[in-house]
Amino acid sequence: MPVIGRLVELYRAEGIEIATGLWPGRFAGMPSANFTWFLRNGESVTNGLGIALQEVYFLEHLFAVYRPRRLFVIGNALGWSALALAALLPESRIVAIDAGFDRNSLEGLDLTNRIAAAAGFNLRAVQGVSPGDIGAIVDAELGGPVEFAFIDGLHTNAQIVLDYAAVAAKAASDAVYLFHDVAGFGLALGLAEIERRSGLKARLIEATPSGMALLVDPAQHPEITAATVGFAPSPQAVAALTEAGWEHRHRHLARWRRSLRKRVGRLRRRGGAYPSTTNAT
């Protein structure tokens, strides 16, 4: 069920306006325009951006077929992703942590808890630092093993491995892990180490602005692959779009390359000599 409208109204009740899913081209090409911003009295109070509109849409598809009962979130900021999870899974228990180091993040914990209480969500946001505090917080707050983890804390290769390991130690054997900003922050090396440790192959969710990655055992959750296939285009499709992007960026060179190919093709059909294309790019 779509939840954006409800989330916007919950934040408005706290005096916060939401801007999300905006086209970067409208804002001087700023990529972060696509994500969720928080504004009070016309001024941004955003420090940690919320997940993008398209990423909430991805979660709607995921949780239409998969209903975890215990969820853990690393990186709360102003609570947008944790509250989206709570709205999508009202029957589930959700715990979110934030180290509180960033501007407004401690206020964000209080804000998340106030909104959750007003909405009747089974969600609690607490201050905690990963990986050291995760075990104790899960034991104290979650009431059982983690079934779904959303990892959106410090975006470094080393940290996401630490985050994953700490959660996995407290997780069910068929737990699902969703990592934010994998493509956006170049976290491929960390993800590869997580794949090695888990024995699973992560799927890069290309059709999300941050390039999220989903780690799931397809043998245990085949329904997830089917429900989210539209967000993970094939390697062939990605390669074709990569080529199209190159041609768009280098329009004059691409036009010259196409012209050269046509001339070579005509000469070949005539059986004549033709220039070498060894150096054509």
Tens-digit pLDDT profile for residues 12-42: 999 999 999 999 999 999 999 999 999 999 9
Query: Both tokens of residue 151?
Result: 């990892």
To the nearest whole percent, how much of the chain has pLDDT over 70?
93
**How many other CB atoms sit within 10 Å of the CB of residue 240?**
12
Domain-located, residue 278: no
List the structure tokens of 71: 């969820």
Is there a single domain that holds both residue 130 and residue 246? no
Q: How confident is the model at residue 235 (pLDDT cuts 50, 70, 90)?
A: confident
Instruction: Tokens 């598809």: give the residue.
Output: 61
* Dist. CA 203–CA 241, nearest whole Å: 18
Q: What is residue 236's three-state secondary structure?
A: helix
The alpha-carbon radius of gyration of the chain (Å, integer) is 22
Q: Which residues contact 261 (CB under 8 A, 6 or more apart)?
A: 277
Q: Is the pLDDT of residue 109 over 80?
A: yes
Question: Tens digit of pLDDT for each residue in 134-154?
Answer: 999 999 999 999 999 999 999
pLDDT for residue 25: 93
**What is the pLDDT confidence band of residue 241, given thresholds at 50, 70 and 90?**
confident
Q: What is the pLDDT of residue 252?
A: 65
Residue 125 sits in the same domain as residue 88 = yes
> Do residue 132 and residue 163 come from a single domain?
yes
Q: Are residues 21 and 158 in the same domain?
A: no
CA distances from 214 to 19, 93, 202, 264, 270 (A): 26, 21, 5, 45, 53
Closest by alpha carbon to 150, among 190, 109, 113, 179?
179
> Which helix or strand (DSSP H or E) is residue 243 part of?
helix 235-249
DSSP E strand boundaries for the chain:
17-19, 37-40, 43-44, 70-74, 93-98, 123-127, 146-151, 171-179, 203-205, 212-215
Q: Is 277 within the bounds of a domain?
A: no
Place of tokens 């934040």: 11
Asked whether residue 261 falls in the same domain as residue 132, the answer is no
Structure tokens at 248: 């768009």
280, part of any domain: no
Q: Domain of 264?
A: 236-270
Together in a domain, 107 and 212: yes
User: Is 267 a residue whose pLDDT tops 80?
Assistant: no
Task: Report the sign of the C-alpha dihedral through residues 177, 232, 49, 242, in that order.
Answer: positive
**Predicted local distance difference test score (pLDDT) of residue 274:** 45
pTM above 0.85, yes or no: yes
Residue 275 lies in a domain: no
By the 10 Å C-beta count (0-12 exposed, 13-18 middle, 19+ buried), 132 is classed as exposed
The total of structural domains in the chain comes to: 3
